[in-house]
């Protein structure tokens, strides 16, 4: 047994030496703070380089986070942040003409599509949870919201408990559904859950009186009530925050290199104030200002290089 | 692919209960839709063979309409559009006062869609019996209703049992579309389990096995029915 042991010690010493040498060389060759180039050990970056395409998952109707515009363009606050990641990938791989492919996703298929590598980076409105981290990796948090309820203003409903015994729509597979189900069971409210496919359908169920409320991420339904209500002011968002929902972008688990690249891009955006500018660009026109808690989150996550 | 297998999740509460619940709704929707499809389908199929042109045209119009519009769109029309075009009170009844509106909408939508297919089988079956039998029935003094009741339909329905079995299986599988209008049947529940546990492959595999089990039972049962009602010497099968 002594022979292989000695052998591995030699290898280890050689490896340390090699690291020192290359480390010095790299540090000498490029300005400090720059990162390595090429895909390195990252399976995701290798995949992107091979196909010369980065695949971005987007939502179709989550205005203004991630959606298809009227002229069928993918855009939004999250898409702008992800474009920064695309730029960083282009630079890292030395491929200025890297193609971007957009794949529409929904709440039920987004995690499998990321886990099986169909999508390189998911840019939607996904809550970062520890349970989900068992299947996927997450970017830093770029938005913070919580579950609230969209109701008709005329209904006079003020709190979730007012909806006891009524019908409430939820998005199938969302964290909102899980929280409402838990509250319903804990307080025996007898709320009947109705399942909707996306934000537009959930809101339609409220507007056509098929349900009395629609529980979803507060930020998103506020935007809906402000911009899409059939009669302005007919819809209201009510209630305390039932959950804490920090949004992050998802990527395949088990690729620390790519996760670090994404983390670096977000930290840069938070530090330089660009994230705040993008927020104002998308939410300003809707009259929704930067929440102090989100501003703090930006500051805390602006890690130094 | 990084995937953490966990088959045990299917047998943990509450997920096992969700699968059982989903199976229950799948069976209820399929059974209700099938009863409706048989009733409406036989009526329309007979109508298409009657010697009155307006009645035949009406039957043909039904078949063309329900067979040529995708089932998914029909379900959306029943669920979202119908209550809005009806008078407000009736619309409100369908949307709110009716217990389980999603279930009834799915069962009726699926049943009427399948009825168009059943109608075509029944029409083909009656025509396959041949004009001679109808004429013989008339010659022995039967009224038109009697000739259908005692001669044409008993022969035609035996003839079309195998294709009807296929339609029965289609109803069971098509019931999975009910999840698009918010009914948590088997497929809906397995997706629900997926979004709660992220064990999607296990949940969908379980759903697949339940569908296969249900359809196999139906196939075996229908074979038994075929054997039981077969008339010796008549309708020999290959």
pLDDT band at B33 (very low <50, low <70, confident <90, very high): very high
Rounded to a whole number of angstroms, the CA Rg of chain A reads: 23
The answer to whether the CB atoms of A196 and B182 lie below 8 A apart is yes
Return the pLDDT at A131: 84
Q: How far is CA B226 from CA A82, A119, B232, B237, in A?
A: 61, 50, 12, 11
Return the pLDDT at A200: 87
Distance CA B4, CA B13 (A): 19
| Interface probe with A: pick from B2, B177, B178, most Cβ of A within 10 Å | B2
Angle between helices B161-174 and B200-229 (to 10 degrees): 160
Q: What is the dihedral of CA A39, A40, A44, A47, to 10 degrees?
A: 50
* DSSP-assigned beta bridge partners for residue A193: A168
- CA dihedral (A92, A96, A101, A102) positive or negative: positive
Residue A25 has pLDDT above 50, yes or no: no
Is cis: bond before B110, omega within 30 of 0?
Answer: no
Return the pLDDT at B1: 56
A179's tokens: 């929280």
Beta strands A147-152 and A235-238 are antiparallel
Return the pLDDT at B163: 94
- CA dihedral (A243, A248, A251, A254) positive or negative: negative
Closest CB to B196: pick one of A112, A178, A208: A178
Closest CB to B182: pick one of A195, A208, A209: A195
Return the pLDDT at A51: 94
pLDDT band at A291 (very low <50, low <70, confident <90, very high): confident
Mention every residue, 6+ apart, whose C-beta is less than 8 A from residue B169: B215, B218, B219
B172's tokens: 């069971």
Contact A251, A128 (CB under 8 A): no
Beta strands A213-217 and A192-196 are unpaired
Q: Which strands sit side by side in the sheet containing A61-62, from one edge to the other?
A: A61-62, A66-68, A74-75
The answer to whether the CB atoms of B3 and A115 lie below 8 A apart is yes
Distance CA A174, CA B125 (A): 49
Distance of residue B207 Cα from the nearest chain A Cα, in angstroms: 16
Q: Calculate mean pLDDT across residues B151-155.
A: 93
User: Containing H/E element for A264?
Assistant: helix A256-272
> Average pLDDT over chain A, rounded to whole?
87
* Residues comprising chain A, all counted: 305
Confirm or reject contact between B95 and chain A (CB < 8 A).
yes
- CA dihedral (A206, A148, A65, A91) positive or negative: negative
Distance CA B205, CA B211 (A): 10
Q: Calculate mean pLDDT across residues B220-224.
A: 95
Instruction: Report angle CA A7, A8, A14 to the nearest 5 degrees.
Output: 95
Is pLDDT larger for residue B216 or for residue B100? B216
Tell me the backbone φ, ψ of residue A61, rounded to 5 degrees. -135, 20
Confirm or reject contact between B83 and chain A (CB < 8 A).
yes
Of A296, A287, A184, A155, nearest to A242 by C-alpha is A184
CB pairs under 8 A between A and B: 61
Angle between helices B15-47 and B53-68 (to 10 degrees): 150
Distance CA B20, CA B26 (A): 10
* DSSP-assigned beta bridge partners for residue A103: A57
- CA dihedral (A13, A18, A21, A22) positive or negative: negative
3-state helix, strand, coil split of chain A in percent (to 5) is 45, 20, 30
Of A108, A140, A150, nearest to A234 by C-alpha is A150
Residue A23 has pLDDT above 80, yes or no: no
pLDDT band at B234 (very low <50, low <70, confident <90, very high): low
Alpha helices in chain B (DSSP H): 15-47, 53-68, 71-76, 82-85, 88-92, 101-129, 131-139, 144-147, 153-159, 161-174, 186-197, 200-229
Q: Calculate mean pLDDT across residues A86-110.
A: 93
Confirm or reject contact between B85 and chain A (CB < 8 A).
no
Angle between helices A256-272 and A77-93 (to 10 degrees): 120
Closest CB to A172: pick one of B84, B102, B191: B191
| HSE-CB for B104 with a 13 A CA cutoff | 9
Confirm or reject contact between B21 and chain A (CB < 8 A).
no
Residue B95 has pLDDT above 90, yes or no: no
Q: How far is CA A75 from CA A56, A81, A274, in A?
A: 12, 10, 17
The answer to whether the CB atoms of B195 and A117 lie below 8 A apart is no
The answer to whether the CB atoms of B4 and A135 lie below 8 A apart is yes
Tens digit of each residue's pLDDT (9 = 90 or more) over A190-231: 999 999 988 888 999 999 999 999 999 888 898 888 888 888
First vs last C-alpha separation in chain A: 44
Tens digit of each residue's pLDDT (9 = 90 or more) over B162-192: 999 999 999 999 999 999 898 999 999 998 8
Q: Calculate mean pLDDT across residues A103-126.
A: 92
Q: How far is CA B180 from CA A24, A173, B65, B198, in A?
A: 59, 13, 21, 20
Within chain A, strands assigned E span: 53-58, 61-62, 66-68, 74-75, 99-104, 121-127, 136-138, 143-145, 147-152, 167-171, 192-196, 213-217, 235-238, 245-252
Residue A7 has pLDDT above 70, yes or no: no
């Amino acid at each position: 047994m002594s022979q292989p042991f000695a052998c591995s010690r030699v290898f280890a010493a050689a490896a340390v030496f090699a690291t020192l040498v290359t480390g010095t060389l790299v540090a000498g060759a490029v300005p400090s703070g720059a990162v390595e180039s090429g895909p390195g050990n990252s399976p995701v970056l290798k995949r992107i380089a091979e196909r010369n395409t980065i695949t971005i998952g987007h939502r179709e109707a989550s205005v203004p986070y991630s959606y298809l515009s009227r002229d069928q363009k993918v855009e939004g606050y999250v898409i702008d942040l992800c474009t920064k990641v695309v730029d960083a990938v282009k630079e890292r791989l030395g491929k200025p003409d890297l193609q971007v492919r957009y794949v529409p996703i929904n709440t039920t298929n987004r995690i499998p599509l990321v886990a099986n590598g169909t999508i390189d980076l998911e840019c939607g409105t996904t809550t970062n949870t520890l349970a989900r981290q068992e299947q996927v990796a997450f970017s830093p948090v770029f938005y913070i919201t919580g579950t609230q309820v969209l109701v008709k203003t005329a209904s006079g409903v003020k709190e979730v408990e007012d909806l006891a015994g009524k019908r409430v729509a939820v998005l199938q597979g969302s964290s909102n559904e899980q929280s409402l189900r838990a509250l319903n069971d804990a307080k025996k409210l007898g709320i009947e859950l109705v399942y909707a496919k996306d934000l537009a359908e959930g809101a339609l169920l409220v507007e056509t009186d098929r349900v009395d409320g629609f529980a979803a991420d507060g930020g998103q339904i506020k935007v809906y009530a402000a911009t899409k209500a059939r009669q302005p002011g007919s819809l209201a968002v009510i209630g305390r925050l039932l959950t804490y929902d920090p949004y992050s972008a998802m990527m395949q688990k088990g690729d620390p290199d790519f996760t670090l690249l994404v983390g670096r891009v977000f930290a840069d955006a938070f530090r330089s104030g660009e994230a705040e500018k993008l927020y104002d660009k998308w939410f300003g026109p809707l009259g929704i200002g930067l929440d102090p808690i989100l501003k703090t989150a930006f500051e805390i996550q602006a890690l130094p290089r | 692919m990084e995937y953490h297998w966990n088959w045990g999740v299917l047998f943990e509460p509450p997920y096992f209960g969700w699968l059982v619940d989903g199976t229950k709704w799948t069976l209820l929707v399929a059974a209700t839709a099938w009863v409706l499809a048989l009733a409406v389908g036989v009526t329309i199929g007979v109508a298409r063979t009657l010697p009155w042109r307006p009645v035949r045209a009406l039957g043909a119009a039904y078949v063309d309409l329900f067979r040529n519009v995708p089932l998914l769109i029909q379900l959306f029309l029943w669920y979202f559009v119908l209550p809005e075009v009806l008078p407000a009170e009736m619309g409100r009844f369908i949307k709110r006062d009716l217990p389980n509106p999603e279930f009834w909408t799915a069962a009726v939508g699926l049943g009427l869609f399948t009825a168009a297919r059943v109608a075509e089988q029944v029409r083909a079956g009656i025509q396959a019996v041949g004009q001679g039998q109808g004429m013989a029935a008339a010659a022995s003094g039967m009224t038109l209703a009697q000739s259908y009741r005692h001669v044409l339909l008993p022969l035609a329905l035996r003839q079309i049992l195998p294709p009807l079995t296929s339609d029965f299986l289609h109803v069971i599988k098509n019931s999975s579309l009910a999840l698009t209008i918010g009914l948590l049947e088997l497929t809906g529940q397995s997706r629900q389990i997926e979004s709660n546990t992220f064990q999607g492959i296990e949940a969908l595999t379980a759903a697949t096995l339940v569908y296969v089990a249900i359809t196999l039972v139906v196939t075996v049962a229908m074979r038994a029915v075929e054997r039981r009602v077969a008339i010796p010497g008549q309708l020999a099968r290959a």
